[in-house]
């Protein structure tokens, strides 16, 4: 099929893009990398009156340091982020997650902001933003507001972004250099969306867990924070920790679904097992035979 007719606009600045979105009255769609949107347009599952191409806005690209955080421009491609020295040093968990996004060719065009704003429940980038405690900057002609990533998603492909708003920055707070990363996903093939995915980070101080942040992807309508599991980890020593019990708490917070790839029961079973294994391996806990 071919896309339905639309007007095409390619602004040079954030201000110009925001003005176009304001004037469109909800009839405009933003295109970043286009790896998801282009197929939707071709299938007429998306039929905007105006397509707003952000590719000329250089202010939306790149990685910079701000106070106790790293700021990522939403138009930064996934491959550029993977190769960025600041992200490799400051946010290695994010780089690890991005290596599992699609394929090398799609990562040349796909952008971090595009994935986060689209909100695919089984995608790595939205879950990484939630797990790492990112804050998302949204801008319109009405002003600027910030939203924590764990409050950004409302449902499948539904976010708090208003029709006249543009995602203009992703701010990820610093994590200690010796943070313990957790990442695992199960997919039918490399590059596919995850059937089950887990991402998170743990901070140890004086032999005990002082900070923990964990998120599921592919386990519900949005990325899901494992808050009860996080709370249960705080203050525990890896030597006395029982990963299987923490996994039970984590899986209880999910809401998986049946689809043509896997059942909800499969996702729960696999999710509990990969949580137990990933936590055990990350903290050096020997599992019972």
DSSP state string for 131-198: HTT-EEEEEETTEEEEEEGGGTEEETTEES--TT-EEEEEEEE---TT-EEEEEEE-SSTTSPPSEEE
Last residue of a domain, one of 146, 173, 200: 173
Which pLDDT score is estimated for 287? 61
What number is the average pLDDT over the span 256-279?
Answer: 96
Q: How many residues does the chain have?
A: 289
Same domain, 118 and 210: no
Same domain, 29 and 68: no
CATH number of the domain encompassing residue 86: 3.30.465.10
CB 255 within 8 A of CB 219: yes
Which pLDDT score is estimated for 41? 79
CATH number of the domain encompassing residue 276: 3.30.390.50
* Count of the separate structural domains present in the chain: 3
Same domain, 90 and 169: yes
The pTM (predicted TM-score) of the whole model is 0.94
Same domain, 249 and 265: yes
Q: Has residue 29 got a pLDDT over 80?
A: yes
- The model's pLDDT over 49-59, given as tens digits with 9 standing for 90+, comes to 899 999 999 99
Asked, for residue 288, whether it belongs to a domain, the answer is: no
* Listed residue (272, 256, 277, 129) closest to 200, CA to CA: 129
- C-alpha 8 chain-centroid distance: 28
- Which letter does DSSP use for residue 65 in this model? E
Same domain, 126 and 83: yes
| Burial class (CB within 10 angstroms; exposed 0-12, middle 13-18, buried 19+) of 268 | middle
Q: Has residue 275 got a pLDDT over 80?
A: yes
Same domain, 87 and 45: no
CB 98 within 8 A of CB 77: no
Which pLDDT score is estimated for 36? 83
SS3 of residue 60 by DSSP = helix
pLDDT above 90 covers what percent of the chain?
90
Same domain, 153 and 203: no
Same domain, 213 and 122: no
What number is the average pLDDT over the span 194-202?
Answer: 97
SS3 of residue 284 by DSSP = coil
- The model's pLDDT over 41-92, given as tens digits with 9 standing for 90+, comes to 787 878 888 999 999 999 999 999 999 999 999 999 999 999 999 999 999 9
pLDDT above 70 covers what percent of the chain?
98
Last residue of a domain, one of 173, 204, 232: 173
Which pLDDT score is estimated for 30? 94
The number of beta carbons lying within 10 Å of the beta carbon of residue 229 is: 23
Please tell me the number of Cα atoms within 13 Å of 262 on its side-chain side: 21
Which pLDDT score is estimated for 1? 66
d(CA 45, CA 55): 23
What number is the average pLDDT over the span 22-37?
Answer: 91
281's tokens? 């391996």
Q: Has residue 132 got a pLDDT over 80?
A: yes
91, 92, 176, 269 from 69: Cα distances, Å: 10, 14, 11, 36
Pairing mode, if any, of strands 135-140 and 166-173? antiparallel
Give the position of tokens 């996994």. Answer: 247
DSSP state string for 108-137: TT-BHHHHHHHT-TT-HHHHHHHHTT-EEE
Q: Which domain holds residue 205?
A: 181-283
Asked, for residue 289, whether it belongs to a domain, the answer is: no
Same domain, 158 and 187: no
d(CA 201, CA 197): 14
Residue 289: which pLDDT band, with cuts at 50, 70 and 90?
very low
Asked, for residue 1, whether it belongs to a domain, the answer is: no
Pairing mode, if any, of strands 153-155 and 158-159? antiparallel
Same domain, 160 and 72: yes
* Listed residue (212, 202, 200, 216) closest to 270, CA to CA: 216
Same domain, 85 and 18: no
What number is the average pLDDT over the span 157-164?
Answer: 96
Last residue of a domain, one of 173, 193, 223: 173
Asked, for residue 144, whether it belongs to a domain, the answer is: yes
**Averaged pLDDT score across all residues of the chain:** 95
Q: What are phi and psi of 131, to 5 degrees?
A: -65, -35
Which is it for the CA torsion 259, 260, 266, 272, positive or negative? Answer: negative
Which pLDDT score is estimated for 252? 97
What number is the average pLDDT over the span 222-232?
Answer: 98
What number is the average pLDDT over the span 155-162?
Answer: 95
CATH number of the domain encompassing residue 21: 3.30.43.10
d(CA 79, CA 66): 22
Residue 222: which pLDDT band, with cuts at 50, 70 and 90?
very high
What number is the average pLDDT over the span 250-259?
Answer: 96
d(CA 36, CA 118): 9
- The model's pLDDT over 105-124, given as tens digits with 9 standing for 90+, comes to 999 999 999 999 999 999 99
Same domain, 169 and 185: no
């Amino acid at each position: 099929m071919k896309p339905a007719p639309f007007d095409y606009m390619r602004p040079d600045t954030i201000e110009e893009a925001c003005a176009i979105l304001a004037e469109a009255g909800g009839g405009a769609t933003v295109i970043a990398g286009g790896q998801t949107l282009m197929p939707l347009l071709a299938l007429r599952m998306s039929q905007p009156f105006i397509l707003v191409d952000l590719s000329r806005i250089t202010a939306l690209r790149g990685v910079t340091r701000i106070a106790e955080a790293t700021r990522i421009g939403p138009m930064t491609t996934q491959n550029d982020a993977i190769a960025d020295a600041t992200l490799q040093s400051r946010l290695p968990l994010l780089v690890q997650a991005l290596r599992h996004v699609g394929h090398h060719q799609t990562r040349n065009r796909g952008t971090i902001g595009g994935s986060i704003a689209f909100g695919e429940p089984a995608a790595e980038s939205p879950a990484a933003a939630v797990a790492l405690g990112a804050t998302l900057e949204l801008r319109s002609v009405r002003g600027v507001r910030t939203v924590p990533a764990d409050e950004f998603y409302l449902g499948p492909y539904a976010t708090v972004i208003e029709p006249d708003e543009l995602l203009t920055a992703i701010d990820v707070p610093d994590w200690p250099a010796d943070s313990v990363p957790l990442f695992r996903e199960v997919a039918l093939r490399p590059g596919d969306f995850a059937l089950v995915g887990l991402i998170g980070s743990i901070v140890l101080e004086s032999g005990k867990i002082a900070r923990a942040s964990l998120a599921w992807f592919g386990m519900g309508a949005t990325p899901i924070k494992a808050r009860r599991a996080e709370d249960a980890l705080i203050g525990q020593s890896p030597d006395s920790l029982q990963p299987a019990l923490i996994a039970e708490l984590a899986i209880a917070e999910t809401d998986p679904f049946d689809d043509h790839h896997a059942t909800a029961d499969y996702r729960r079973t696999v999710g509990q097992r990969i949580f137990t294994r990933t936590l055990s391996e990350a903290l050096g806990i020997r599992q019972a035979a």
